[in-house]
């Protein structure tokens, strides 16, 4: 349950979306599918690779090593998930049109999916961070705290759903899930600190600020390129119109990170800390 809070919240979102009329459930489903791609490929991979190190370091009483591994995993999560979220928001429309817009999936369905995708993407880094943080509790022999935190966040998600679904329609349901995931991350960090686990908060804050700035630059560049390619190809919703900006954005982000001496860029590909 501690690891499945996001999935529970999405289930609640879907149940409430039935009250919003035609298209809302489908919009949430397709928006969530796109968010799950970077989460599954990158976020869960980071969490899975970190778990054995957490367990070993806790068993050995290596608090310094645990701090280093946790900091590394969370920094890599921010470094990779934040630009992925920006990319999904900026290129969301051509991606959705290319993948889904045909038959009964018309432009109205595209706009509905974009609304859900944008608000789900806000919490992408938090979804991945929870996958990293919960195994630390398991390594400490504490499976209860993540469940308690998860239960609180599910309740908060339901309350936010009811508050936001009126003004934002199904986008409010997606935003509620993102906000509850951010709360989940914050509470898990707080409880780890209470357990005397050293979480490098200042290091993570500095990393987040730099990553947000770099991701913003990447997002502007990708948006301008997408607009130009829409003229060249006649539409941005083509293979070239989607993959060229994606590849350019990833390459440009990594090159700028290297030029600006982000230490995360040199750590990509490491299998141990």
Q: What is the pLDDT of residues 73-120, one digit of tens each?
A: 999 999 999 999 999 999 999 999 999 998 889 999 999 999 999 999
Q: Given the structure tokens 């630059």, which residue do they identify? A: 217
**pLDDT value of position 272:** 44
Torsion of CA 52, 56, 61, 64, to 10 degrees: -50
**pLDDT value of position 271:** 47
Q: pLDDT per residue over 239-249, tens digit each?
A: 999 999 999 99
User: In whole angstroms, how far apart are CA 259 and each of 75, 94, 207, 252, 256?
Assistant: 18, 30, 15, 10, 5
Comparing 211 with 104, the larger pLDDT belongs to 211
- Give 2's pLDDT tier (boundaries 50, 70, 90): low
Percentage of the chain modeled with pLDDT above 70: 97
Average pLDDT over residues 188-193: 92
Rounded Cα–Cα distance for residues 157 and 152 (Å): 9
**pLDDT value of position 1:** 65
Torsion of CA 37, 41, 47, 49, to 10 degrees: 170
Three-state DSSP class for 30? helix
pLDDT at 22 over 80: no
Q: Which of 1-5, 95-99, 121-125, 227-231 has the lowest mean pLDDT?
A: 1-5
Mean pLDDT of the chain: 91
Average pLDDT over residues 130-139: 92
- Give 207's pLDDT tier (boundaries 50, 70, 90): very high
Using CB atoms within 10 A of its CB, is residue 56 exposed (0-12), middle (13-18) or buried (19+)?
Answer: middle
**pLDDT value of position 273:** 43
pLDDT at 142 over 80: yes
Comparing 1 with 66, the larger pLDDT belongs to 66
């Amino acid at each position: 349950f501690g690891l499945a809070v996001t999935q529970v919240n999405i289930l609640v979102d879907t149940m409430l979306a039935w009250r919003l009329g035609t298209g809302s459930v489908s919009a949430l489903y397709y928006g969530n599918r796109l968010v799950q791609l970077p989460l599954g490929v990158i976020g869960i991979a980071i969490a899975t690779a970190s778990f054995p190190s957490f367990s070993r370091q806790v068993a050995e009483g290596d608090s310094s090593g645990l701090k280093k591994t946790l900091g590394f995993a969370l920094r890599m999560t921010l470094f990779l998930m934040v630009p992925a979220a920006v990319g999904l928001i900026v290129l969301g429309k051509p991606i959705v049109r290319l993948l889904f817009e045909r038959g009964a999936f018309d432009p109205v369905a595209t706009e509905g999916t974009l609304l859900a995708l944008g608000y789900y993407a806000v919490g992408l880094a938090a979804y991945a961070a929870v996958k990293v943080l919960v195994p630390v509790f398991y390594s400490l022999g504490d499976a209860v705290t993540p469940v308690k935190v998860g239960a609180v966040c599910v309740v908060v998600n339901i309350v936010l759903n009811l508050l936001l679904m009126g003004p934002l329609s199904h986008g409010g349901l997606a935003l509620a899930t993102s906000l509850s995931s951010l709360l989940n991350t914050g509470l898990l960090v707080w409880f780890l600190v209470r357990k005397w686990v050293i979480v490098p908060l200042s290091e993570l804050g500095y990393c987040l600020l730099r990553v947000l700035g770099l991701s913003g630059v990447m997002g502007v560049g990708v948006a301008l390129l997408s607009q130009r390619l829409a003229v060249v190809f006649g539409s941005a919703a083509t293979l070239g119109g989607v993959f060229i900006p994606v590849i350019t954005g990833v390459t440009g982000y990594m090159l700028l990170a290297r030029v600006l001496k982000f230490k995360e860029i040199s750590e990509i590909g490491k299998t141990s800390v």
